[in-house]
Chain A
Amino acid sequence: MLKTFPKGGIHPPENKITASKPIKRLDPPKVVYVPISQHIGIPSKIIVERKEKVTIGQIIAKSGGYVSSNIHSPVAGTVTKLDKIFDSSGYKKQCIVIRTDLKDQSNFELIDSPLKTDIQLSKKDILQHITDYGIVGLGGATFPSHVKLNIKKDKHIDCLIINGVECEPYLTADHRLMLEKAEEILVGIEILMFALHIDKAIIGIENNKKNAIANFKELTKNNDKIQVAALKIKYPQGSEKQLVRALLKREVPKNGLPLDVGVIVHNVGTIFAIYEAVQYNKPLTERVVTVTGKTIKDPSNFWVKIGTPVIDLINEVGGLPEDTRKILNGGPMMGKAIKNTDVPVAKGTSGILVISKEEAERKKCTNCIRCNECVFVCPMGLEPYLLMNLTEKKMYETALNEDITTCIECGSCSYVCPSHRPLLDYIRFGKSIIKTLEIAKDKK
């Protein structure tokens, strides 16, 4: 029997149409828009000026505090503007606009470097490299990695979990990376195990990526420190808490972190970025993005420079279909619709999903019929129908007592609701209100 988490979960149609498409490298875009808040925490501080020339990998915005990250220039070129443009949050945010210098050869150099297995740096230097080269969690939450790796002495970590689950339908970015860069990822895992004194690592992969599982199993035949675990296909298994429960049967406490049960979880994309940062001093300036959709002509996976406008990627896969209704940044379950096609790819963009008019239409919301379906599928054991009602009636205190803040916003409840009720919209709203109320309380 394959491992999985016990409570809730759903299995939406997978639609992984790009699973067999190798990751293509694109020509550098003419203009990049680099947002300064691509991570959770404090936005970075811009340290370049207008008309300044920048080279590839140069720091253009410095970390603004502890929970923050450096941002590097993805291209060589000239800073033309420091402007506010719409980013994936749906609001106008500060961006650094760089025009690519198309004569500069460094923009076209192939960056696929040979495998480098021996670790030369000391433990301290490894962590310093991860901080300096702006590595953030590439699974989607974009939490700065150095904060996650800076473990207090009273915590004992005994296991590193590598998240290769990719439970979101449509997305194949991590899948392709695991196939094409498997050896590099294994070196990355060893770097982290060495830096953090951990002797056990588990790579968790969902069973719909059989070739990736076989590939890793073959490569780790003689390595008993790294295990490969196949997981049952179930959404939202890629969530940290669910993954820890599935692999180790450890329950992460309410409002706690995997750190509290002696585990660190990292996405495969992050591991690859750490490998490049430590072995080749390469900052995080590009990532794998799946550009897909049922109506797209030639959906594919790409190495995309941070800051590339979405329209460039869509043109690459055959242009925007006429009946497009929504373009999502991310997968269909947790992705967010973007405001226009000039929105840039940020560090957290794992996919661009184009949705046609038919699929996008929200069905009419009717009354709750008390079928309990949302309670069955909630992976956190919450009662979504109740939380929605409490938020609607402005009973925030009661909602807080019902653990509304532990919701991971996976959207399973809204997905299964036969009355098409906007459960997650209201729960997310309730969470934000409670957050502001708590901030107000702290200030008092």
Chain B
Amino acid sequence: MTVSIIYSVLLLTSLGIIAAIILYVVSKKFYVYEDPLITEVEEILPAANCAGCGSPGCRSFAEKLVSTEDISDLFCPVGGNDVMESIANLLGKEVTKKDPTVAVLLCQGSCDMRPKTTQFQGPDSCAISALVFSGETDCQYGCLGKGDCVDACLFDAMYMDKDTGLPVIITDKCTSCGACVEACPKNIIEMRPKNKRDLKIYVGCMNEDKGGIAKRACAVACIGCSKCFDICPKDAITMENNLAYIDAQLCTLCRKCVDVCPTHSIVETNFPPRKKKPISTITKGKKIDSPSKEKYIDKKVKAIVEPLKSNNDA
């Protein structure tokens, strides 16, 4: 009885020892050297695996960072400058600093502004509907509203606004990985620099049609009138194909172009509310708001009616 127990214990122990020796020999013989730096770099990277850098994932990007000599072209948009700097310190290489960017939708054609003239019944995908036609509205440059960009976003930084039919970008969550830019078949998402208070001024339209045609298709389309181009003190605005474009590097956020735009196609974000301006300057660019208009008319009526009344009384 005891002998059989001893035998089995001995047998299993020796089997274990033999297996250990084989494993040891194999692990030494077939050892693959891997730079420990790769793992270290990978730990610094944000582990989002979003492919915003151009590599399929964070691990392969780490390998690329370690293996290439000059890493000044490589950049992790999600981690930004901090991550790239700490990687540069670790590897002893130099990186270029890039301004943080954020995705911006260059279309304001909501359901009220851009009436639908046709209806697409196929699968819910911008890319598929773009194969068949130019979109449900008469504007062939604007948002198709099927949400391919929202599906592409890995960071929950986008959602579809049901009232406007347009995607909304949550700037705080956007990591500027560029997945939405690639997913959009109309190329209406742009990466624009992000400053501390997230102040941005951009032309929210991509319509290259002539003014009249653009305006008929969408109330907030850029009609290519060049008013913003004329007023810009820094020459940051260029006009091409009946469309204005604001260069974010040159723009000083003076907001003169916003005031002057007749179709309100220039968007300003997160600016503090303006001081009230005298009517004469507002009417230049914008319509008079209806309450103030009423007041204005009321005053006029009073001015005419009251003297008449006093005359009658007399």
- Using a CB–CB distance below 8 Å, which chain A residues touch chain B? 84, 86, 89-92, 336-337, 339-340, 360-362, 365, 422, 425-426, 428-429, 432
Contacts and interface: CB of A to CB of B under 8 A. Distances in A.
A337 B117 CA distance: 13
Contact of A429 (B121, B128, B140, B209): B128
Contact of A425 (B123, B133, B134, B209): B123
Contact of B131 (A360, A362, A432): A432
Interface string B118-139: 1001110101100111100000
B139 to A, nearest CB: 10
A425 B128 contact: yes
Closest 5 CB pairs of A and B: A90-B133, A362-B121, A422-B123, A91-B134, A429-B128
B128 A426 contact: yes
12 contacts: A84-B209, A89-B133, A90-B132, A90-B133, A91-B140, A92-B134, A337-B132, A339-B134, A362-B122, A425-B128, A428-B131, A429-B125
What size tier do the contact residues of chain B reach? Answer: 10 to 19
Interface of B: 117-118, 121-123, 125, 127-128, 131-134, 140, 209
A360 B121 CA distance: 9
A429 B131 contact: yes
A336 B132 contact: yes
Contacts of B118: 339-340
A362 B124 CA distance: 13
Contacts of A91: 133-134, 140
B277 to A, nearest CB: 40
Nearest to A336: B132
Contacts of B133: 89-91, 337, 339
A361 B132 CA distance: 17
Contacts of B117: 339-340
A319 B125 CA distance: 34
A8 B290 CA distance: 66
A90 B133 CA distance: 4
Contacts of A425: 122-123, 128
A206 B223 CA distance: 54
Given A340-B117, A425-B128, A429-B127, A86 B134 contact: yes
Contacts, number: 40
Given A340-B117, A365-B123, A426-B123, 18 more contacts: A89-B133, A90-B133, A90-B134, A91-B133, A91-B140, A92-B140, A92-B209, A337-B133, A339-B118, A339-B133, A339-B134, A362-B121, A422-B123, A425-B122, A425-B128, A428-B131, A429-B125, A429-B131
Nearest to A428: B131
Contacts of B132: 90, 336-337
Residues of A contacting B: mostly: mixed
Nearest to B125: A429
B140 to A, nearest CB: 6
Contacts of B140: 91-92
Contacts of A360: 121
Nearest to B132: A90
B20 to A, nearest CB: 42
B278 to A, nearest CB: 43
A337 B134 CA distance: 12
Given A92-B140, A429-B127, A422 B134 contact: no
A430 B140 CA distance: 22
Contacts of B128: 425-426, 428-429
B136 to A, nearest CB: 10
Nearest to B123: A422
A365 B118 CA distance: 21
Nearest to A84: B209
B16 to A, nearest CB: 44
Nearest to B119: A325
A429 B125 CA distance: 10
A305 B128 CA distance: 32
Contacts of A432: 131
A264 to B, nearest CB: 31
B166 to A, nearest CB: 21
B208 to A, nearest CB: 10
A202 B280 CA distance: 80
A84 B122 CA distance: 26
B131 to A, nearest CB: 6
A86 B213 CA distance: 12
A164 to B, nearest CB: 30
Nearest to A88: B133
A422 B120 CA distance: 13
A84 B139 CA distance: 13
A426 B127 CA distance: 10
A422 B122 CA distance: 7
Contacts of A428: 128, 131
Nearest to A422: B123
A145 to B, nearest CB: 27
Nearest to A391: B128
A429 B117 CA distance: 24
A425 B125 CA distance: 10
Contacts of A336: 132
A387 to B, nearest CB: 14
